Structure 1
Amino acid sequence: MVLLLFVDLDPDLTALDALGGFFVLRTEAPPRGPLPTLAQAYAGQHVDVYGDPLIFRVRKVTESLRAPEPRIAVSVAQQALAARLWSIALGCAALYDQVPDLDPRLLRWDPDASAPDDLWLSEVRPRPATAIGDLVREGHLAPLITALRRQQHVSARLLWGNAASALAGALRQLNRWAHAGGRDEVADRARAFAAASLAHPDLSGTLDPATLRRRSCCLYYRLPGGGLCGDCCFDRPPRHS
């Protein structure tokens, strides 16, 4: 018999703190503002000094990574935000057996911050853990991908592959933490929620089911000094002009 130990979904989501920076979700007011909500970012709504928040973010990533093509920065920026959202949702589902409502209108984002992306949740509204897929995939990933593809010609398959890879990365980190702390039940629940999410048609087929190795490339190898990611579909960097 396995005893599942859960804690209540507390207003500060403090159980996430032990998992690392990608899992932390701030619930206090942002230190400076007004910051755009993710809903505003997906809609392309101009917000104060940022203008279009997603365009601002992609330009920042392009400059910081010296990306030779904007689509590379689009890919990197999208995967980083997807990793934050999946980590928060998967961590809450595994630890609390609940997730906070991640409605994009409730999440404020600093497009000028360094990685991992800073996110603030304005109100903690408990939702069942089984809502993880809809909250992240439908609430964020689909509108994010649509918004980015309005800006740059980037393959939808590549971006959904990024989303799946980000989920697999969150799962690996949760597995390491859970096994190190003797919380095997947390790892089991995380795997179950991740598998259910990866079975959705948008994500199904993006990763090898046995190894979680991706079947598309995020383009990171095209950055100056960039190499292959650990789950890359390539065995060696392709030659490119």
Structure 2
Amino acid sequence: MTVLKILVGCKRVIDFAVKIRVNSARTAVETADIKHSLNPFDEIGVQEAINLREVLGKDKVSEIIALTCGPSKSQEQLRTALAMGADRAIHVETSKDQTLEPLNVAKIFKAIIEKENPNLVILGKQAIDDDSNQTGQMLAGLLNWPQATFASKVEIDKDSITVTREVDGGLETIRSKLPAIVTTDLRLNEPKFVTLPNIMKARKKPLTKFSLQDFDIDVTPRLETISVTEPTTRKSGTKVDSVDDLISKLKSAGAL
């Protein structure tokens, strides 16, 4: 059986419980003094790597590496991944206000993969801040690797991977040779609670830093955000006493 070396993407995003506000310039959402956390889909990816190690055994999963591209504070999310059970972390540091588009992230991941030579890469299917759902697919294209997106179940058999994925019509099961790219869906697993002793241990695990200048990659933005606005406020509903009242109101509103 192939010994796995797993690379997992870990993005820093605004915490899912925070109410998003548009900044005063209307160019983006407000991020100053806002709680951030590990992207939930990436957290599932880290947990899946750990689950594979538990199922297959430590001798069959040689290493789990957490990788992020982002500002210096992104180390917090890498430490979360390390506390969950990743062995070491890699941080490609960007400036505080720099935003990397999915293609740029995929190119950086490709460069790291060529250095580290993992045979399984697990990414969240999307990040909850931009919902792009592009990086995993772009990375597979750049590497010319097979991909299995929206995974709800992952199984390893010798040198192949079998993934059950969610599609519009139900579930689809696909199998491919390793190396491969997998992106996670919500039903793949439920991340376990991180204990304080593991958080303390994570501080001593290795974390390697790179800068964008270490890679010959053009990260010039190809997209421009013109403006960002909040969704329109939904009008309150009206309660009706009967079906006749409902039909009457629908007719008066031109809906019938």
Give the TM-score normalised by the residue count of structure 1. 0.34
Give the TM-score normalised by the residue count of structure 2. 0.32
Largest Rg, 1 or 2: 2
Higher share in strand? 2
Higher share in helix? 1
